[in-house]
Copies of this chain bind each other. A is one copy, B any other.
Amino acid sequence: MVKNAYTPVTAAVGVENALRLLEGRWKLVILFHLFGGRVRRYSDLEKLIPEISQKMLAQQLRQLEGDGIVLRKVYPQVPPKVEYRLSEWGQALCPALDALLTWAELRDS
């Protein structure tokens, strides 16, 4: 498919679908805690994001995992141990978020 084949509408839909994956009160906070190849356990994230409820943490992680943005690794042991990290595609988000941040900062200047 050619770049210039995009109509305003189809391009909007493409970005909307992308944005939809990032919506959710806590997803970005979680993602930022995983950037740079960092690996975090469920309990790590709970401590890093004190205001989040267990329900929301689990739910947002499930969605991020289902969307292929984060990877989940379970160690079959007692007590349980689960690690989360970004997928390759998840890491590729960095430039886009940087661009958004840059744009946001532009407002004040």
Contacts and interface: CB of A to CB of B under 8 A. Distances in A.
A100 B95 CA distance: 8
Contacts of A49: 9
Interface in A71-91: 89
A96 B93 contact: no
Contacts of A105: 14
Interface in A11-61: 11-19, 22-23, 28-29, 31-33, 35, 48-49
Contacts of A19: 19, 22-23, 28, 100
Interface of A: 8-9, 11-19, 22-23, 28-29, 31-33, 35, 48-49, 68, 89, 92-93, 95-107
